[in-house]
Structure 1
């Protein structure tokens, strides 16, 4: 009989449920926006690093060590 009296205490109104869902959605949207911003920053940094690496490879390929053909005693 006590279980029947505690059921109304567990019920929530649609307004309360809506507020909780809106707050939850706002928190998740915040996390998604932060993740997208970080992803874009990481992509930009990765692109810079790849360009630097390709420039470094070009410089290394343009320089050739000519001392290998000489015999030093």
Structure 2
């Protein structure tokens, strides 16, 4: 029984090298995700700039303020 328990404890031990390898792989995966997110952010920023400079957006913004008090609920005649 004691030998079986010691064998189980030895199985749970992890060497420093194994832990280092696992941590390096995990860090590499997260670095890849961060790099992809940064690339996506710059692409979205460029697309947003292109869309805001397009004619359709400018026509929508240039309409300006319209006075809505000229309706039938107000006596502005």
* Uncovered stretches (5+) of structure 2, i.e. residues with no partner: 64-77
Can you list the C-alpha shifts for 1:48-73, whole angstroms capped at 9, x where unaligned? 1111112x347x75xxxxxxxxxxxx
The TM-score normalised by the length of structure 1 is 0.69
Q: How many residues align?
A: 59
Q: Is 1:25–2:27 an aligned residue pair? A: yes
RMSD: 1.7
> 1:5, 1:48 → 2: CA distance?
65
Q: Cα distance, 1:5 vs. partner?
A: 3.0
Q: Which structure is higher in RCO with an 8 Å CA cutoff and minimum separation 6?
A: 2
Secondary structure of the corresponding residue to residue 14 of structure 2: coil
The TM-score normalised by the length of structure 2 is 0.66
* Uncovered stretches (5+) of structure 1, i.e. residues with no partner: 62-73
